[in-house]
Structure 1
Amino acid sequence: MAEKTSRIAGFYKLPPEERVARVAEIAGLDEAAQAHLRNTGNLDAAAADAMIENVIGTMNIPLGVATNLIIDGEETLVPMATEESSVVAAVSNAARQCRDSGGITTSTSGALMIAQVQLVNVANPEYARLQILEHRAEIKAICDDTDPVLLRHGGGFRDLEVRVLEGRRGPMVVTHLIVDTGDAMGANAVNSMAEAVAPSIASWTGGQTYLRILSNLADRRLVRARATWTLDAIGGEGVRDGMLAAFDFADVDPYRAATHNKGIMNGVSAVTLATGNDTRAVESGAHAYAAQSGQYRPLTRWEQDADGNLTGVLEMPLAVGLIGGATRSHPTAQLCLEIMGARTAERLSRTIAAVGLAQNFSALKALATTGIQKGHMALHAKNIAVMAGATGDEVEAVSAELVKAGTVRVDVAEEILQRLRQ
C-alpha cells in the first residue's frame, strides 16, 4: 500500500482508469473493488469524465417508473431515480386513487429566472437605484447580446428590478435581471448576463460590483398542481379528517413542516434526478419559498370541497430544463424524458409538480391511517434482507418473513437466513 495521502499531483490529468489505480494504491483496494469502480454501467466512462472532475466511476441509483398518472388529461409514465423504498409506490397509489376524478391538473407562471448583481460602496444608494433603472434599455441590449441563441429561441431579457438592502457592512444596491430562459434551466445564461452587465452598473453609479449570480429562489418560475380525491377513493370521512389534521399540524409547526416538505421532495427530487436536472437548485428554491412568510410552512395546501371530498394543491418554484448539462449529455436522462413525453421544460416542470402532490397525498394518508412505517418497512424489507446477505430467491423469502413477523431488522433477517440455509 502506498503512503496515505490526499495530495496527488496531476490527478485531474489522468484518465479514469489510472485514477482508479492510484486511489486503489493509496486506499488499499483489491482487484475486485477496482473492477467494481471501472464498471460504469450504462454511462460510458468517457461521458462521465466529461461531466465532473476527477472521475473514478459512477454511483448507480435505482430507476423506477411511477404508473397510473393522468396529468392534464394525458396518461403519463414517470421515471424516478431514488434509493428510498416506497417512494415510487406511493406516487403510483396516489395517482390511482384520483384517476376517477380526472387525475392531476397543472399550470405554470412561465420560465423567468433572476440574476442578481450586488453593488456596494455607494454613498447615495437610492440615487444609484434610479440611475440603474434609467438604463433599462442598455441593460436589455447587453443581456440579449450575451446569449443570442437564447434570443433566437424566444427567450432573453424581460424586466429589471433594483432594491436597496441594509447589510452589516452598509447599504448595498441589488439589481435583478429578469430573464426568460425558455427550455433551459438557465443558470449559465443568467450568470453570464449578470457578469456582462456588472461593469456598466459600476460605471454608472461609481460603486463597486461584487456578486453576479442567479438566485435559486425562482419565484418567477412557479409551477402548480391540484387534484381531488373522493371519499370513496380514500376510505371515507375519517381518513379525510385525519389527513386534514396532519396538514394542519404542518401548517402551524416548522418541525412538522420540514418533514412534510421532505416527503414532497422525495418525489420532486427523484424526477429531477432522473432527468439530469439540478436537484440542489430545485431543493434550495423550494425550501426558501416555503419560508417566505417568515415561518417555514408546507408547500401544499389541503382542504375539503363542498361535497366533502379531499382537495390538494401544490405551488413551488421549479427551475428545470431540457437543454444543457447532464440532461443533454446523459443517455438515461434522455430516455427518461422520452418515456414521460416531456418535450418542453414546461411539461417537465408540470410533471414534477404532479408527482410532488401525489407523494404528499400518500404520506398524509399513511400518517392518518396505518402509520408511515407499516407500508414503508414492508417495502424496505428487501433492502434489509440483502444487508443480511440474502441473494436470489432468498431475498423474497427473507423479506416475506420479516414483514409477517412485523420486525424489519438486520439481526432478525440474519436469523431467518441462517434457518433457511440449514
Structure 2
Amino acid sequence: MADRIPRNKDNDNSETMASQRRDFIQQQTGSTARHLGHYSIDAESTQGNIEHFTGVAQVPLGLAGPLRVNGEHAQGDFYVPMATTEGTLVASYNRGMRLLRDAGGITVSVVDDAMQRAPVFVFKDARQARDFGVWVEQNIAAIREVAESTTSSGKLLRIDQYAAACLRYLRFNFSTGDAAGQNMVGRATFAACEWIMQQYQGIERYMLSGSMDTDKKHSQLNTLHSRGKRVIAEAVIPDHLLREQMGVSAELLFRSRQISNTGSFMAGAMNNGSHSANGITALFIATGQDVANVAESSAAVVYVTLTPEGDYYYSITLPSLIVATHGGGTGLPTQQECLQMLGCSGSGKVNKLAEIIGATVLCGELSLGAAVIAGDWVTSHEQYGRNR
C-alpha cells in the first residue's frame, strides 16, 4: 500500500508541514523540491486557498504597457502584470498597447453583471412543474429575503426559469460585490432551495445545480445572458497608424476579419476572436483569480467595421468575465502586489479590474491579427518564443 501524504489535521498550512511534504515527495520519487520550497509568502496565509501546501509553482511575470484605458472605472495609463511561460505573448500585447495608446486609448464599458446558481426541481409531471414556476414568480420577494440573509454583499437580481419534461430549472442571478461569487451564490441559493422545499408541496427532489449555471465551462446561454461581468472594449484606429506600426491597412484587416468569421462559423467555435484566453489567463494568474474560470471568461464576440474615413473600428465583447478583487487568491502576497500595480486592491475596484482586462484583451487581439496578415507571426515566435 502506498504511503499517505503527511498531514496535520490541526495546523496543516504551516512551514513545518510543507517541509515534511517536500521531504516526503523526494523520498517517494527521488526528485528534488529545491525551487518549490523557495518562496517568500507565509505558509499559513495559504489557508483557504490550497490543501496539502507543499511549496509554490513560480511563473515568470512580465510587464506590458502603458495601457491607456478610457473606462468608467479605469481611466488613464496602466502597466499590466502578465504571468506566462509563452514567449512573445507579453511583447505582442505590449505592441498592441502602443498602437491603441497612440490611437487615443480604449473605451471600455461594463454593461451587465450577474453570477448564477441554477438548481433543478423534479416533479411527477410537466404540469406540476409549470404550476411550481408560477408559484416561484409569485413568491420572489420571500425567496429573495431568504437568499440574501446568507450574505452581506450578494443581491438576488432575478430568477430565470426553463422547463423540460417534469423538470423546472431555476437560474438564480446575483450581484456579488467585489467577489467572483460562485461560493456566495451557492450558499444563498441552497438556503433559498431549502426554504422552498419547506413551503411548497409536491416536489420530489431537487439538485442544487442542474448544470444550467455552466460553472467552469462555456455555454451559449452565457454568451446571450452573461455570467460575471459583460465587458465591451472598443477603439477606432486610424488607417495611417495601422500602416506605420503594423504594416497592414484598415481595409485589409477588415477583409481578413470576414474570412476569420467564416472559419470560426465553419469550425463551430464559440469565439470568433484570436486568443482572448492568453491575456486573460496571464492576468488571472498575476492577480489571483480562479484560473479555471478562463473556460468561461475567454468567450468573445469580435465586431469590426470601417468608418466613413477609412479607419478601423474594432471591438471585443467578453460576455462572461469572472473576476474579483476580494476573496479567493486575491489576498495572497504576490497577487496583492499585482493588484496594487493596477490600483485595483481594496473594495469597489472589481469593475476597474474588469475594464483593464477588457482593454488588454483588445490589444492582444489586434496585435496578433495584424501579425498573421503581415507575416510577423512565425518570425516573432522564432525571435522571442524559443528556449534555445
Report the TM-score, using the length of structure 1 for normalisation: 0.78
Distance in structure 1 (CA, Å) of the matches to 2:230 and 2:376: 32
Alpha-carbon shift at residue 128 of structure 1 (Å) = 1.3
Q: 1:122 to 1:335 in 2, by over 3 A?
A: farther
Alpha-carbon shift at residue 284 of structure 1 (Å) = 2.3
Residue 321 of structure 1 is matched in structure 2 by 324
Residue 46 of structure 1 is matched in structure 2 by 44
* 1:127 correspondence with 2:134: no
Q: 1:295-310 to 2 correspondence within 5 Å?
A: 299-310=301-312
Match of 1:351 among 349, 352, 356: 356
Q: 1:12 to 1:243 in 2, by over 3 A?
A: farther
Alpha-carbon shift at residue 9 of structure 1 (Å) = 6.1
Partner SS state of residue 62, structure 2: strand
Alpha-carbon shift at residue 28 of structure 1 (Å) = 1.7
Alpha-carbon shift at residue 335 of structure 1 (Å) = 1.0
* 1:62 correspondence with 2:70: no
Question: 1:276-313: CA deviations, max 9, x gaps?
Answer: 011222432444xx5xxxxxxxx222222111111211
Instruction: Work out the percentage of aligned pairs sharing the same amino acid.
Output: 23
Residue identity opposite 1:138 in structure 2: A
Match of 1:244 among 235, 251, 254: 254
Match of 2:233 among 206, 222, 225: 225
Q: 1:6 to 1:61 in 2, by over 3 A?
A: farther
Q: Is the 8 A contact 1:117 1:175 kept in 2?
A: yes
Alpha-carbon shift at residue 244 of structure 1 (Å) = 2.4
Alpha-carbon shift at residue 346 of structure 1 (Å) = 0.2
Q: Is the 8 A contact 1:119 1:209 kept in 2?
A: yes
Match of 1:211 among 204, 208, 211: 208
Question: 1:356-383: CA deviations, max 9, x gaps?
Answer: 11100011000010241111221114xx
Distance in structure 2 (CA, Å) of the matches to 1:224 and 1:268: 14
Alpha-carbon shift at residue 46 of structure 1 (Å) = 3.4
Distance in structure 2 (CA, Å) of the matches to 1:314 and 1:25: 50
Alpha-carbon shift at residue 258 of structure 1 (Å) = 7.1
Alpha-carbon shift at residue 242 of structure 1 (Å) = 3.4
Partner SS state of residue 301, structure 1: strand
* 1:184 correspondence with 2:179: yes
Q: 1:369-388 to 2 correspondence within 5 Å?
A: 369-381=374-386, 384-385=387-388
Match of 1:270 among 261, 268, 282: 282
Distance in structure 2 (CA, Å) of the matches to 1:146 and 1:176: 18
Residue identity opposite 2:157 in structure 1: R
Q: Is the 8 A contact 1:119 1:202 kept in 2?
A: no
Distance in structure 1 (CA, Å) of the matches to 2:2 and 2:352: 44
**Unpaired runs of at least 5, structure 1:** 291-298, 386-422
- The alignment covers a number of residue pairs equal to 355
Residue identity opposite 2:237 in structure 1: W
Distance in structure 2 (CA, Å) of the matches to 1:325 and 1:378: 37
Distance in structure 1 (CA, Å) of the matches to 2:90 and 2:271: 18
Question: 1:366-403: CA deviations, max 9, x gaps?
Answer: 0010241111221114xx22xxxxxxxxxxxxxxxxxx
Match of 1:201 among 179, 184, 196: 196
Distance in structure 2 (CA, Å) of the matches to 1:122 and 1:133: 20
Q: 1:25 to 1:256 in 2, by over 3 A?
A: same
Identify the structure with bigger relative contact order (alpha carbons < 8 Å, sequence gap 6+): 2
Partner SS state of residue 349, structure 1: helix
Alpha-carbon shift at residue 261 of structure 1 (Å) = 4.1
Alpha-carbon shift at residue 197 of structure 1 (Å) = 1.1
Distance in structure 2 (CA, Å) of the matches to 1:233 and 1:246: 18
Which deviates further from its counterpart, 197-206 or 347-356?
197-206
Question: 1:9-38: CA deviations, max 9, x gaps?
Answer: 654656111111111111122xxx233332
Residue 147 of structure 2 is matched in structure 1 by 143
Q: 1:100 to 1:252 in 2, by over 3 A?
A: same
Report the TM-score, using the length of structure 2 for normalisation: 0.84
Distance in structure 2 (CA, Å) of the matches to 1:12 and 1:241: 64
Q: Is the 8 A contact 1:94 1:361 kept in 2?
A: yes
Distance in structure 2 (CA, Å) of the matches to 1:272 and 1:9: 29
Q: 1:370 to 1:257 in 2, by over 3 A?
A: farther
Alpha-carbon shift at residue 86 of structure 1 (Å) = 1.4
Residue identity opposite 2:276 in structure 1: I
Distance in structure 2 (CA, Å) of the matches to 1:350 and 1:240: 25
Q: 1:6 to 1:368 in 2, by over 3 A?
A: farther
Distance in structure 2 (CA, Å) of the matches to 1:323 and 1:259: 28
Q: 1:265 to 1:310 in 2, by over 3 A?
A: same
Q: 1:320 to 1:368 in 2, by over 3 A?
A: same
Residue 291 of structure 2 is matched in structure 1 by 279
**Unpaired runs of at least 5, structure 2:** 216-221
Select the structure that is richer in helix.
Answer: 1
Q: 1:71 to 1:139 in 2, by over 3 A?
A: same
